[in-house]
Chain A
Amino acid sequence: MNATRNSGTPEDPAFKNGSGAAAILSAGSGCFAVAILALAGDKLAFVKKLLNIYRPAGPLSGVTTGAILMWLCMWGALEWRWRSKTVAIGGISIAALLLLGLGMVLTFPAVVDFL
């Protein structure tokens, strides 16, 4: 899978950055999706009911299953589009880390209660 060790340079890397960018952006979005679905389930009764796909675990089952599906679908789609491309990784990394940070904040109960 890998090219020969040290075959690339910062100016001419062995691999394009598209595949990594797809993985990073989708992971950030997946974490954000966990927070958004949890928030929606907390605020809207009908969403909470929809998310209750496995009764013993309650809405947690729907939140996590939904977020994982979104994450994997997004990863697959971005990988397909970007795998052989060089993309603007700076903005994508910042967006992914922001989504991750926002996700972490939005899962904090005091913030959820405040919204």
Chain B
Amino acid sequence: MEITERGLWTMIHGMGFGALYLLACSGAIMGLYRSIFLSASSETGLDSERFLKGYLVAMVVLAWGAVLTGAYVVYPWYRALPPPGTVDLSMFPQRLLISNPATAGWHSLGMEWKEYVAWFAPISITMVMAVFVRYGHDLKNHRQLRNAVLGFAAASFLAAGIAGLLGAMINKNAPVYGGKTIQLARGDRE
């Protein structure tokens, strides 16, 4: 069972930061909704508010981790140019996608959208976290502010979902791999 260094980084970017962020999104939206709209006893409310603040901080770390590893670790491998005369484009995912009309759209539409829209997720969730840390349950008393915060949380989910889905499909059609091979485990032949 082996994985290449580039494959491992792609996994950290997509399955580690990205997928965990997407999983956390629904919990955050539900937590924000409960915290803002439902009343609870003081003790439970304070505990859940503290928990939600920590949860949102973790989401901010995941979101920034996803875009930074994507843009500065994986993307340069994706867009690397092959030396002139290269026939086997498997190490150059962008060129591999463009070389076939059946897959070119995954770059010209998929990656071109993903590379920018993904950044809406960390910007939005950082704002959501900052506002919730500042206001906590007092958001209940600011109707328009809380609606905007929930709107941005939903937009963050949408942006991460678009980026995640496109990333998965792009990597399925032209995986980023190469670099040192890392052996994870030895399997049986039978």
Q: Quick one: closest B residue to A59, CB to CB?
A: B115
Indicate if the CB atoms of A110 and B145 lie closer than 8 Å. Answer: no
Interface, chain A (partner B; CB < 8 A): 1-3, 5-10, 12-15, 17, 19-21, 23-24, 26-27, 30-31, 34-35, 38, 54, 56-58, 60-61, 63-64, 67-68, 71, 89-90, 93, 96-97, 100, 103-104, 107-110, 112
With a cutoff of 8 Å between Cβ atoms, the chain A residues found around residue B143 in the complex are 10
Indicate if the CB atoms of A24 and B145 lie closer than 8 Å. Answer: yes
Docked pose: A10 CA to B139 CA in angstroms: 9
Q: Mark B16-32, 1 if CB is under 8 A from A, else 0.
A: 00000000000000000
Candidates B108, B113, B120; contact of A100 at CB < 8 Å: B120
Task: Sort chain B's interface into a size bin.
Answer: 35 or more
State the majority secondary structure of interface residues on A. helix
Indicate if the CB atoms of A109 and B42 lie closer than 8 Å. Answer: no
Interface, chain B (partner A; CB < 8 A): 42, 45-46, 49, 67, 71-72, 75-76, 79-80, 108-109, 112-113, 115-117, 119-120, 123-124, 126-127, 130-131, 133-145, 147-149, 151-152, 155, 158-159
Indicate if the CB atoms of B136 and A5 lie closer than 8 Å. Answer: yes
Docked pose: A98 CA to B23 CA in angstroms: 26
Q: Quick one: closest B residue to A67, CB to CB?
A: B119
Known: A14-B138, A57-B71, A93-B144. A27 touches B124 (CB 8 A): yes
